[in-house]
Amino acid sequence: MIVAMKADATPDEIQAVVDRITSFNLKALNMPGGERTAIGIASAIPPDLRETLAELLGAMPGVDRVTHVSRAYKLASREFHPADTVITVKGVSIGANEVVVAAGPCAIEGREQLFEAAKAVKEHGAKILRGGAFKPRTNPYSFQGLGIEGLKLLKEAGEQFDLVTVTEIIDQHDLDTVAAHADILQVGARNMQNYPLLTALGKATQPVVLKRGISATIDEWLLAAEYILAQGNESVILCERGVHPLDREHTRYTLDLSAVPVVKTLSHLPVIVDPSHACGNWRYVASMSKAAIAAGADGLLMEVHPDPPRALCDGSQSLRIETFASLMKELRAVASAVGRSLV
Ligand code: PEP
Ligand code: MN
């Protein structure tokens, strides 16, 4: 439910509405706008209270109108927050006009590999360095990541090449350690519905990249974002990375590009696209990256490796540095064709 105040509502009238909402044990959210304030109710309202509450609040001094939010998610919805959310980390803004590229290896394998990738992606225009230290592998015998050693390398590479860093967190107990080494925390597709992890990230100070679950609907994904937002962390970046495929013969997952405009309509949160995990094959990454920008994505998350055949993880979908460099040129043209920039 959203209570829109009149443009000339006084601070006391606004406070009275907030107090009335909290007197029902509901969470009131003050949303000051350019011309007027709105107050949102960020809790589930018991069905038998809905109409009475709407009438009660509608009759209070300074109230213009009361509208019901039709979606189960509140803080993630555009109804609650009409303007686009822009998340700025160390001077890099995600969700603004500029399309932001995050690139780097799937897994941090060592200093030489990470630093070579970092240097190259920076040189060709990426603003964010990706690299996994804790890898959620399907096979328990596969390389699981360098852990804390990987995090230290990521931090060092970020500082050396002036790149914002993003890395995956798979366990809420690692939060302090991961947060001490990375600028953005990533929730992988496998953990989109790990609610204790989402709740812990809601209390973190870093922005969170929330990947869409492999079989998650758009509403389930936005409700997962709501878990983080509800704890007070307003910086959630949604990442479409492909959903369970009909045909695994040619691509690893199916990139749901229509999710981009759909989520942009339903939510104010920035949306980025990971074509690497969606395709599972480097040959298709360029096409899907261009399509993602044309579809309105605010950024891309891509795997780039100095020597893909020798990668310890996801080499088949990783771009070589030269391929990444030429793709970035094409992406600039697509961005400008759709009224966006890409530096
Ligand atoms: C990743 O980005 O490193 C990753 C594991 O991706 P996903 O969670 O989308 O599978
Ligand atoms: Mn990967």
Q: Is the pTM of this model over 0.85?
A: yes
Which of the ligands is closest to the CA of residue 132? 1
Q: Which atom of ligand 1 is nearest to the CA of 239?
A: 9
**What pLDDT score does 37 carry?**
87
* 276 contacts: CB under 8 Å, gap ≥ 6: 106, 282, 285, 301, 302, 303, 314, 317, 318, 319
Domains of the chain in sequence order: 2-67 (3.30.70.1140), 87-337 (3.20.20.70)
Query: Does residue 189 line the site of ligand 1, with CB under 6 A?
Result: yes
Distance CA 173, CA 166 (A): 18
pLDDT top residue among 154 and 35: 154
Average pLDDT over residues 133-160: 97
Query: Does residue 212 line the site of ligand 1, with CB under 6 A?
Result: no
Distance CA 85, CA 198 (A): 19
Phi-psi region of 145 (alpha: psi -120 to 50; beta: other; left: phi over 0): left
Q: List pLDDT tens digits, range 207-219.
A: 999 999 999 999 9
**What pLDDT score does 313 carry?**
97
Cβ atoms < 10 Å from Cβ of 341: 11
Residue type, 103: A
**Token pair 């369970």 is at which residue?**
244
Average pLDDT over residues 153-166: 98
Protein residue closest via CA to atom 5 of ligand 1: 188
Q: What is the mean pLDDT of the chain?
A: 96
pLDDT band at 203 (very low <50, low <70, confident <90, very high): very high
Query: Does residue 105 line the site of ligand 1, with CB under 6 A?
Result: no
* Beta carbons of 76 and 233 less than 8 angstroms apart: no
CA distances from 21 to 43, 53, 205 (A): 10, 8, 28
* For residue 17, pLDDT beyond 90: yes
DSSP string, 164-196: EEEEE---GGGHHHHHHH-SEEEE-GGGTT-HH
Q: For a substitution probing ligand 1, which of 129, 256, 277, 285 has the most ligand atoms within 8 Å of its CB?
A: 277
Q: List pLDDT tens digits, range 97-132.
A: 999 999 999 999 999 999 999 999 999 999 999 999
Ligand 1: distance of its center to the CA of 301 in Å? 10
**What pLDDT score does 44 carry?**
86
DSSP tag of 25: T
**What pLDDT score does 59 carry?**
97
Average pLDDT over residues 255-259: 98
pLDDT band at 30 (very low <50, low <70, confident <90, very high): confident
* For residue 34, pLDDT beyond 90: no
Average pLDDT over residues 44-61: 93
| Residue spans of alpha helices (H) in the chain | 11-22, 50-58, 111-123, 148-161, 175-181, 195-201, 218-230, 259-266, 275-279, 285-294, 321-337
Average pLDDT over residues 26-40: 85
Average pLDDT over residues 8-12: 95
**Token pair 């990442």 is at which residue?**
239
Nearest 5°: the CA angle 317, 322, 328 is: 85
**What pLDDT score does 70 carry?**
79
Average pLDDT over residues 315-323: 98
pLDDT top residue among 251 and 72: 251
Q: For a substitution probing ligand 1, which of 114, 241, 276 has the most ligand atoms within 8 Å of its CB?
A: 241
